[in-house]
Amino acid sequence: MMSRLAKRILWPLVLWLGLCGTALSAAGQSVLYSFSRPGQPTHYLLGTMHSDDSRVISVLDRVRQPMDEVDQVVLEILPDAGSLVSASLAMLLPADQKLSQLLGQGLYRRVLAPMQEKGVPELLLERMKPWAVAVTLGTPELQGPAMDQVIQQRALAAGKRLVALETAQEQMALFDDLPRALQVRMLEEVLEQQDSLAMQLEHLTQAYLAGDLERLRALSLEYDAAGDQALSAWFRRVLIEERNLRMFQRLLPILEQGGTLVAVGALHLPGNEGLVKLLQNAGYSVTPLYW
């Protein structure tokens, strides 16, 4: 059970990462770019959406040629058995703490039923950290492999070298470093939005399919408008801006090793702190490949 929850949490969450509020870069609107600079082969940057929707998966049909051309595929993380174990442990409270004590009985009872609907028994729920419960409740149930997982499978089948920009431990630590009060607030926000999550996801999906990062950004801001400002600022700074810079710094030496397809969450692309702008500032010519 813990490994299944950990696997779900490890893959990037577009609903959480949709809190970035920066403007689009001058490169234009798209979720697929080519980029290059003198002396290097052409590389590709794909903004992904963590979804198993067949409409989203079909976007990968447009990436077949880039996949064929490159030597390696770069993803945010590459989950393995070891990382799932680490993630499972990171989701748990210290042995002397219980979730019901941290949340109070009122909030805990609001959490209990929806978590049981997701197959999480109360004995396990009592051991989970507030952020882990929030992410579990805020992540849509998948019926099949999500887009990023399909990319990984296809890259392996094509014999491409796979590289990760982050470790599972790093991703889990992002949430662990969130102050406990903000973890609880995150959980409250997820509960408040439970009835509208499906609608929000559909609107985000439509924007993604249109290759419209501006619309995707605007929808994310709209859905976050009533949220806690401190929590919103933390999401934007830690989950987007700081990670963008870290990914970019780690990506540069990888690009020296051959043609590369980079596939990361779509909202890591736009903005002055986004990957498109960072690549441009590093001397790359970045070209949006329109739908």
Read off the pLDDT of residues 219-277 as tens digits, 9 standing for 90 and up. 776 665 456 778 878 888 888 889 999 999 999 999 999 999 999 999 899 888 899 99
Q: What is the DSSP letter of 42?
A: -
Of 194, 206, 166, which Cα lies nearest the Cα of 83?
Answer: 166
Coil, helix or strand for 23?
Answer: coil
Work out the angle at residue 143's Cα, subtended by the Cα atoms of residues 137 and 149, and round it to the nearest 5 degrees: 90
d(CA 90, CA 6): 9
Q: What are phi and psi of 79, to 5 degrees?
A: -60, 140
Instruction: Give 44's strand partners.
Output: 34, 261
The tens digit of pLDDT for each residue in 81-112 reads 677 787 788 899 999 999 999 999 999 999 99
Q: What are phi and psi of 261, to 5 degrees?
A: -105, 115
| Average pLDDT along the chain | 86
Write down the pLDDT at residue 5.
Answer: 57
Of 99, 28, 7, 84, which Cα lies nearest the Cα of 289?
Answer: 28
Write down the pLDDT at residue 20.
Answer: 40
The tens digit of pLDDT for each residue in 184-220 reads 999 998 898 888 888 988 999 999 999 888 788 777 7
CB 280, CB 64: distance < 8 Å: no
Q: Which helix (DSSP H) or strand (DSSP E) does residue 248 occupy?
A: helix 243-255
Write down the pLDDT at residue 172.
Answer: 87
pTM metric for this prediction: 0.88
